[in-house]
Amino acid sequence: MAKYLIINTGGTIGMAEGPQGLTPQPGLLQQTLAEHPNLALWREHDLQWHEWQPLIDSSDIYPSHWYELASLIRHCDAEGVLVVHGTDTLAYSAAALSFLLSDCTMPVVITGSMRPLSAADNDGLNNLMTALDALEAGRPEVVVAFSGEQLPASRVTKIDTAADHAFATPNWPEALWSNPTPTRAYALDKAWRPSAIGVQMLFPGMPMDGLMSMIERNYRALVLNVYGSGNVMADSAFRRILHRAADQQRPIFVRSQCLYGSVQLGQYATSALLTEIDATPCGGMPLEAVITKLQILCAEFDHGEAVTRGFLEPWAREWQRLET
């Protein structure tokens, strides 16, 4: 028997049909774990509960919630923690917790479902059992348990709006599980504070107003979703804006719009501008991990140089790749 803390934040898994559609049902998850025959193995453990009041849709998750969860997990008296979460922002919360709990010494598992436990064809029962498997495996890090799979939290992205197999880890092969999980070399001492992170996807005919506005409004960092392996348009206004950002020591990060592969600056001449402004490639990280790590870094550090340095340091599995 192990002692596990279950933190129920809300989400589809614990909803039921109401007059206006699916709504959170307090106590439903706890009742299901206590009574459903398919979840009997859960009842072999000492389960502690922390249910948010009110339960929320994951669309309403904010970075302050990540810090709240991390603090609760860090100070709990348990051998493992299950976080039940809605799927829309699950990948963001998973990545954030993997960074905030980089020095974690127990398993922290995140799960949810695409259909509620109240539905006859629900996927929640299977996901809860996958989560229990992950807890019992005892891997001391944050993982996502979904559709029969255990996935590294810093590499997860949502890829489907309806299918059971809603999450994937592009650019992260399972062979990397054998590699040790990196840990952050220093403590994060600052409380959450909002910081503006700009995200711009390039597209043909893109107006420059939005990107310029991010510079004029002193956004702390910019993330560019660029073409292919790191290519950008030869546009004079675009060039001026990025050089202005670089002159202001605004850190700029670049990632590919492609689901698989990574940015390789210098492979094509059209990436030369990004090299000129000393932009930082994001490796194979999904957008959720890029954004959440930058939000945490901007809350912790005041200067762009420290943000870039921290981004390049492995805090979880975000930088892992197979050596070629």
Give catalytic residues, as residue numbers: 12
Tell whether omega for the bond before 37 is within 30 degrees of 0, i.e. cis. Answer: no
Alpha-carbon dihedral sign for residues 140, 142, 146, 152: negative
Residues linked to residue 15 through DSSP beta bridges, in sequence order: 24
Q: Report residue 319: phi and psi, to 5°.
A: -100, 0
CB atoms within 10 A of CB 10: 24
Judged by phi (left if over 0) then psi (alpha if -120 to 50, else beta), residue 154 lies in: alpha
Query: How far is the C-alpha of 182 from the C-alpha of 312, rounded, in Å?
Result: 12
Distances (CA, A) of 159 to 109, 115, 163, 267: 19, 16, 9, 28
